[in-house]
Each structure stands twice: as structure tokens, then as C-alpha cells.
């Protein structure tokens, strides 16, 4: 799409196309179609028995919770049942002249059988239940937390912080670890941009229309990366459908925020097109300068346009498909401090992604499935001075291929995944960036196995990564690229046993040994970085980062009560971090940040408690603490989050949900040399949500009031916290229509 094409035209096109697809696929026979979802999580529920009352006629929902049932015209009563859920009844008037579409929400219930409580679980194994409690944001939780960026959306999750240099360039930090130690994937495929390399670079993923956000920890992370010691964040959008939808589904969204006068317009749809499944999405977002309790923060405006389309063909044995995704954004970085431009800097990012997926299901119980994917990414990034001059330019082409073979067993109590991947990254730089252009060729082999035996479960994984980095001489480069080619061989492994101590209590631990290969920037940087307001110095002789980690956990779960407690310890032999040297590059008056490999240790505790009274009252509290130490200098590591507590109380009435939340952080006085401490703070918020149906539409109206008392506070992970307090009091209004 040309960059000057009005995004609202794409949104309008999706609306028209939705209506067209809906008309084309209207049947003369009377069909009742719809989707069944979990009332609490919003996730689709498969294998629900859908039956016409008083008859044996019925069907069941597919893996996406969808169903289609032929009935006689007139008033009909449908029954929806599944073990662990209350039976739902819907009365519909079926007409041969209109399509009848339903959205059915099932409510979980506890079943009392001979004194044993059996509670509905959306997850199968205890590992999956643990993952659901600790690392999944979906359904009502996702609606409530939806924000401009991924980091802002996830900030109330236990152990998650926000590294930022303004409202737009925000990236999640997990357990004190950031950069590529936290890998971000979309639909299981690595999302490539430059957000992991510098705090001024934005994550280039649109947050509208997510199905869920997953935090993957433990051995399973090695299927994605050997460097993701903090975890893998997987954003599920399902742009490539694995089956042809039975009908048109979609949504329209509007959003407004008072703190930055921001607006969002969005549209999405999935539709059957002949034998194919079509996915489409378009968004347009704009904000002005952000307001804070101490005044407006200049040069923090954001303007973002996105468009995505996917097409696939599915069958009984698998599917094949492709998608195209484009993300264009311009945003500001505030100035007004040493090293910063008086009027800040502006960033312009263009990202284009073409990806293809295929999956084939075997009939053999031991040979389950073969998945293959290919992704091509084009990324172009400009950083402008306030006078319009280009201060930095980054461009890369990225190609990633991946194959995974899924193996099973006759008793379905174990499974294995074998993976292989190949990637090529070609980075070029311009303007006043003095890092040499560099290519990186990588190959990976991975294996993952899990098993379940009575009360015992086990996960084990290993990964090998080969990387060859080839810097090329350039006239502007300050690093002599001769003889600086680097080759790395990284080995990582992890094992995690879990045992059920009772029907409600499980305990376990995870041990990992990992190696992380230095990035191009850590090896070869040598010069100013305009928008980051730093003079960055790399080290071409760096060795791979090595770590040993231990995590122990207890999980107690029963109807209405869910408690998870975790302790973790990570020991690093060569932890790579950019440290403020305290020196100034007087040519540009920029503070010098140099990459240093140090002996480091991370210790931490996390706890999450959720209490539910019936189906209406929910209370949650989460506590996280991490302590980072530079063992070489016996000094704290830089940019470590303070002790943080989050809380929530919610009441759900059939026609309205209301709630209050709190975020409380302690003072962070354990700081590195030349790092400033931050004070403690407490901020509070309120929200209300109304869901209702009209005809073939499901409406969701969410009103959220953040920072209720207009408290001025600072984020310790913000590089510019000396001039940038966090957002002031803000009213957010989201309106979303799902049509089906």
C-alpha cells in the first residue's frame, strides 16, 4: 500500500468486503451459525454439544468454537453443553430469508462427584494450567488492559516492567531482563524489528484485534530462541486461518484517550472466499503530546497506520496460506536534558512482512504433524533532528525459514517436537551512524519433549545455534571491519519436572543452561545514536553470554481460588549490558554508554493470587521483586524494576462489569554508577464494561479511568525519566462491535 493512501479507505474497504462476502455466502436453507466462547476468558470452546431441543439433531463446535446447524424455519430452542460448563439455552427464530448467527458464552461450574471437586479447566496438563495462570492474557482481561503498546497492555502482569523513551517506544521487560532476552513472536513467528536493540525503537505490532497474549517460560522457550532467558511473548492473531470459516466474522473498533487526545479507528474480518479463508485488518491511530501532572510533554505525538491481509486453504489433513502485514509509524522522542536535542527527535518506521505457513497432519498416532513457515521482513527506520535533518538511518532485510515435526505416542501421554531453522539478516546503516553494515547468517536445531505419568509431568528441551557475523567496511564506519568476522556456536538446554502433591496442589522446578550470542550492535557499535541520546560503544571481541538458571514454583488451584508462587535465580558468566560510563562525548554532548560483560546474578520472587466468589466477584493481587547484582564490582545492575504490587477488584453483573485497580511500586535506591534512583508511588484506576447483543452484532463498551489522583511518578526503566513523568489522569473509551 502506498504510504500516502488514506488508512480509512482500507477500513471502509473491509466493511464493504464483509458485506459482500456475507451476501455471497447466504444459503437458501435455514442455517443457524455461531461461536461458543468461555464467559470468563473469551477464548473459543471446542467440542461443545449443540443440540436442537427435543430431537437427536445436533452438531459440535470446531477448534475455533464455531458451529453450523440446519433447522426448520420458525422458533427453535438450542441447547449448548460441555462437561465443566453450565448448560446454555438459546431461543432463536429461524427464517429462510435471513441468516441466524449466535454468540454463546458458557459459564464454568464445579461438579461435585462423591466428595471430589472437579473444576472445568480450559487447559489439559498441569503445565498448561500453570501457563494459563501465570502467562496468558485473553478474553475479558485483554479487553480491560488493551492499550497503545504491547508493554502498556501487559504492565499489570506479574514480573513485567516497561522499558521506554516515550509513549510509543515501549517494550516489555520480564524479571529484569530486556532486549532480545525477551523475544516477541506473532502467531509463533519471530517479529523482527529493532525494538530489542535500543529503548527509542518501537515494537512494530498493532495491538488491536488480538486473540490472546502468551508468556512462554521454561524449556518450551528453546523452540523459539536460545537467548530468551526472560521468556517468549507470543501474540496470537491467527492471520493465516487453518480452516475455511463457515461464515463472515469481524469487528469494528473506535477508541479515544483524553491524556493525549488520541483516537483509533479499526476494522477486521475473516470470511469464506470460495474454498479459501480470508483475513483482513486495517487500523489508523493518532495521538497528540502526552499530558502529565507537571504539564504537557512535548514531542510525544504518535501517528500509526497498519494493514494486514491473509489467505489460506484448509482441509482435513492440514492447511497452506500466506499473509502480508505493513506497519507505518511516526512518533516523537522528548528532549530537554543533557545529550537530548532541545526539541527532541522524530522517528519514522516502515515495516513490511510477507509470511507463509503450511501444516500437514499425518494419520499415524506417532507421527502427528509437520509445520513449515517462511518470513521475509523489510524494515526501514529514520531518525530526524528537530530541524528535519536525518541523524540516523537503519535498514534491514530479514529472511527466516523454520520447520517443526510433531511426534506423539500411542497413549497420548507424551509428545516431541523437532525443529530446524535458517535465517539471514542484512543490516545497513546511514547518516550519522558509524556501525559497519553487517550480515548475520544463523542456523538452529531444537528438540522439545514432554510426558505425563499419573501425578508426574516432565518437560525437557535443547537447542543449538550457529551464527556467522560478517561486518563490511564502509567509508563512515569507525570500526575497522577487517578480521572482525565472528562465528558462534551456542548450546542451550532446560529441564522442568512437575509433581501433583494433591488434586489441587502441584510443585516443580526448572533448571536451564543457556548461551546468548551478542547482537550486531553490541559487537560493532561506535558512535552517536540520535534518538537514544547516547554515544554507543560496542566491543567486537565479546564472547557469548552464558547463564545457569533455577526456578521453583508452587501452584494451588481449586474452584474460586488460584495461587501461584515462584522463586528464581539466574547466574550469568558474561552478562552483556550497556552501562553509563559517566563520560561525555563532547562533539555531540552525548553520555557514553559502553557494552560491558560482567559476572551477574538475578534473584527474584513472584506471587499471584486470584479469588473468585461465584461468577460475579473477582479479586486479584500480584507481587514481583527482582534483585540484579554486578558481581564483578559488587554493585547493582542498571535499570532493574523496584518491588511492585498490582491489585484488582471486579464485580460482574449480567449487564455491567465494574472494577478498581491499583499499582504500587517501592523506591528503587539500588542503582548502578551514574544511574539516578526513583521514588515510590501508588496509582489507582477505575473501569466499567458493558456487553450487549443486537441482531448479528455483539457490542463491547469499555470506559477506563487511569491515574485517578493525577499522581506524578517516574518509571525506573525509562531512559528519560529525569524529564518525563508518566501519564497523568486519563479517560479511555473503547467501543467495539463484533459481527457474525
- pLDDT one-digit tens code per residue, 276-310: 999 999 999 999 999 999 888 888 999 999 999 99
- pLDDT tens digit sequence for 377-398: 999 999 998 888 888 899 999 9
Q: What is the DSSP string of 620-652?
A: EEEEEEEEEEETTTTEEPSS----EEEEEEEEE
Could you tell me if 639 and 599 lie in one domain? yes
Same domain, 26 and 161: no
What total number of domains does the chain contain? 2
CATH number at residue 562: 2.40.170.20
Tell me which residue range forms the domain holding 11: 7-117
The three-state DSSP-derived secondary structure of 305-339 is EEEEEEEEEEECCEEEEEEEEEEEEEEEECCCCCC
353 has which bridge partners? 325, 377
Helices (H), strands (E): how many in the chain? Answer: 5, 43
Are residues 107 and 185 located together in one domain of the fold?
A: no
* Pair 80, 193 in one domain: no
Nearest to 625 by CA among 609, 601, 606, 602: 606
Averages of pLDDT over each 10 residues, the chain, 740 residues: 50 53 46 80 80 74 81 76 80 59 74 36 60 70 84 91 90 92 90 89 89 89 90 90 84 94 94 93 95 90 96 91 96 73 86 96 86 96 88 93 90 88 93 86 97 91 96 60 82 95 92 94 82 81 93 92 95 88 75 88 96 90 96 89 96 90 96 88 96 84 96 90 87 90
Looking at the domain assignment, is residue 489 inside a domain?
A: no
Residues 6+ positions from 170 with CB-CB distance below 8 Å: 149, 150, 151, 152, 162, 163, 164, 202, 203
Residues 104 and 163 in one domain: no
What confidence score (pLDDT) does residue 2 get? 41
| CATH at residue 14 | 2.60.40.1120
Choosing from 75, 96, 117, the residue where a domain stops is: 117
Whether 112 and 163 share a structural domain: no
Are the C-beta atoms of residues 636 and 672 closer than 8 Å to each other?
A: yes
Q: What is the DSSP string of 496-557?
A: EEEEESSSSEEEEEEEEEEEEPPPHHHHH-EEEETTTTEEEE--TTPPPEEEEEEEEEEEEE
Q: Is the residue at 486 inside a domain?
A: no
Question: 40-69: per-residue pLDDT in tens?
Answer: 666 788 888 888 876 667 788 887 788 888
249 and 316 co-located in one domain: yes
* Prediction pTM value: 0.84
3-state secondary structure of 122: coil
Residues 149 and 104 reside in one and the same domain: no
Q: What is the mean pLDDT of the chain?
A: 85
Domain end: 89, 117, 145, which one?
Answer: 117
Q: 352 in a domain, yes or no?
A: yes
Q: Which of 63, 90, 117 is the last residue of a domain?
A: 117
Neighbours of 701 (CB within 10 A): 15
Assess if residue 694 is contained within a domain.
yes
395 and 505 together in one domain: yes
Q: Is residue 276 part of a domain?
A: yes
The reply to whether 514 and 368 lie within a common domain is yes
Quick one: 242 and 384 in the same domain? yes
Looking at the fold, whether 252 and 372 belong to one and the same domain comes out as yes
**Domain membership flag for residue 454:** yes
Residue 488 lies in a domain: no
Residue 170 within a domain: yes
Amino acid at each position: 500500500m502506498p504510504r500516502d493512501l488514506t488508512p480509512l479507505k482500507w477500513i471502509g474497504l473491509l466493511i464493504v468486503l464483509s458485506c459482500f462476502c456475507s451476501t455471497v455466502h447466504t444459503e437458501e436453507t435455514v442455517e443457524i451459525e455461531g461461536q461458543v466462547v468461555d464467559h470468563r476468558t473469551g477464548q473459543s470452546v471446542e467440542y461443545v454439544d449443540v443440540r436442537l431441543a427435543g430431537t437427536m439433531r445436533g452438531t459440535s463446535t470446531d477448534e475455533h468454537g464455531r458451529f453450523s446447524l440446519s433447522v426448520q424455519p420458525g422458533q427453535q430452542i438450542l441447547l449448548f453443553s460441555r462437561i465443566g460448563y453450565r448448560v446454555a439455552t438459546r431461543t432463536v427464530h429461524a427464517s429462510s430469508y435471513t441468516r441466524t448467527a449466535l454468540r454463546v458464552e458458557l459459564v464454568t461450574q464445579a461438579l461435585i462427584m462423591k466428595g471430589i471437586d472437579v473444576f472445568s479447566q480450559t487447559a489439559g496438563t498441569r503445565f498448561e494450567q500453570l501457563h494459563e495462570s501465570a502467562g496468558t492474557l485473553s478474553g475479558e482481561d485483554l479487553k480491560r488492559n488493551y492499550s497503545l503498546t504491547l508493554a502498556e497492555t501487559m504492565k499489570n502482569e506479574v514480573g513485567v516492567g516497561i522499558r521506554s523513551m516515550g509513549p510509543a517506544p515501549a517494550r516489555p521487560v520480564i524479571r529484569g531482563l530486556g532486549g532480545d532476552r525477551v523475544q516477541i513472536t506473532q502467531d509463533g513467528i519471530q517479529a523482527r524489528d529493532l525494538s530489542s536493540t535500543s529503548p527509542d525503537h518501537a515494537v512494530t505490532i498493532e495491538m488491536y484485534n488480538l486473540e490472546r497474549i502468551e508468556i512462554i517460560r521454561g524449556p518450551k522457550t528453546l523452540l523459539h530462541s536460545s537467548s530468551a532467558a526472560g521468556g517468549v511473548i507470543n501474540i496470537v492473531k491467527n492471520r493465516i486461518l487453518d480452516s475455511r470459516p463457515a461464515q463472515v466474522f469481524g469487528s469494528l473498533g473506535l477508541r479515544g484517550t483524553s491524556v493525549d487526545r488520541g483516537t483509533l479507528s479499526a476494522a477486521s474480518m475473516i470470511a469464506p472466499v470460495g474454498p479459501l479463508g480470508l483475513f483482513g485488518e486495517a487500523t489508523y491511530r493518532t495521538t497528540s503530546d502526552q499530558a502529565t501532572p507537571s504539564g504537557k510533554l512535548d514531542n510525544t505525538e504518535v501517528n500509526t497506520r497498519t494493514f494486514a491481509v491473509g489467505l489460506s486453504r484448509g482441509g482435513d489433513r492440514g492447511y497452506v496460506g500466506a499473509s502480508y502485514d505493513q506497519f507505518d509509524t511516526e512518533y516523537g522522542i522528548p528532549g530537554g536534558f543533557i545529550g537530548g536535542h532541545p526539541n527532541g527527535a522524530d522517528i519514522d518506521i516502515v515495516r513490511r512482512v510477507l509470511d507463509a505457513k503450511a501444516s500437514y497432519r499425518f494419520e499415524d498416532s506417532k507421527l502427528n504433524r509437520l509445520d513449515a513457515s517462511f518470513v521475509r521482513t523489510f524494515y526501514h527506520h529514520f531518525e530526524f533532528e528537530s530541524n528535519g535533518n536525518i541523524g540516523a538511518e537503519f535498514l534491514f532485510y530479514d529472511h527466516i525459514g523454520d520447520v517443526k515435526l510433531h511426534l506423539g505416542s500411542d497413549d497420548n501421554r507424551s509428545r516431541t517436537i523437532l525443529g530446524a531453522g535458517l535465517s539471514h539478516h542484512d543490516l545497513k546503516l546511514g547518516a550519522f551512524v558509524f556501525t559497519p553494515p553487517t550480515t548475520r547468517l544463523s542456523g538452529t536445531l531444537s528438540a522439545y519433549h514432554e510426558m505425563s505419568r499419573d501425578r508426574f509431568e516432565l518437560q525437557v528441551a535443547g537447542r543449538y545455534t550457529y551464527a556467522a557475523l560478517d561486518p563490511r567496511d564502509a567509508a563512515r564506519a569507525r570500526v575497522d571491519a577487517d578480521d572482525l568476522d565472528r562465528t558462534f556456536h551456542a548450546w542451550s538446554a532446560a529441564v522442568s519436572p512437575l509433581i501433583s502433591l494433591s488434586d489441587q496442589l502441584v510443585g516443580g522446578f526448572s533448571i536451564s543452561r543457556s548461551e546468548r550470542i551478542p547482537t550486531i550492535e553490541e559487537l560493532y557499535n561506535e558512535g552517536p545514536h540520535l534518538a537514544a541520546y547516547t554515544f554507543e560503544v560496542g566491543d567486537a571481541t565479546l564472547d557469548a553470554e552464558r547463564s545457569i538458571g533455577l526456578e521453583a514454583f508452587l501452584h494451588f488451584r481449586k474452584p474460586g481460588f488460584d495461587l501461584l508462587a515462584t522463586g528464581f535465580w539466574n547466574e550469568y558468566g558474561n552478562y552483556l549490558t550497556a552501562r553509563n560510563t559517566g563520560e561525555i562525548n563532547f562533539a555531540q554532548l552525548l553520555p557514553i554508554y559502553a557494552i560491558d560483560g560482567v559476572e551477574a546474578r538475578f534473584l527474584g520472587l513472584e506471587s499471584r493470587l486470584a479469588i473468585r466468589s461465584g461468577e460475579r466477584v473477582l479479586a486479584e493481587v500480584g507481587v514481583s521483586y527482582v534483585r540484579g547484582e554486578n558481581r564483578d564490582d559488587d554493585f547493582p545492575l542498571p535499570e532493574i524494576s523496584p518491588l511492585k504490587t498490582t491489585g484488582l477488584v471486579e464485580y460482574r453483573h449480567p449487564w455491567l462489569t465494574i472494577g478498581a485497580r491499583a499499582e504500587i511500586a517501592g523506591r528503587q535506591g539500588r542503582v548502578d554508577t551514574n544511574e539516578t534512583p526513583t521514588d515510590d508511588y501508588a496509582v489507582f484506576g477505575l473501569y466499567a464494561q458493558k456487553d450487549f447483543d443486537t441482531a448479528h452484532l455483539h457490542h463491547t463498551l469499555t470506559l477506563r479511568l487511569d491515574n485517578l489522583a493525577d499522581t506524578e511518578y517516574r518509571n525506573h526503566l525509562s531512559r528519560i525519566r529525569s524529564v518525563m513523568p508518566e501519564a497523568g489522569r486519563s479517560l479511555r473509551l473503547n467501543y467495539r462491535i463484533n459481527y457474525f
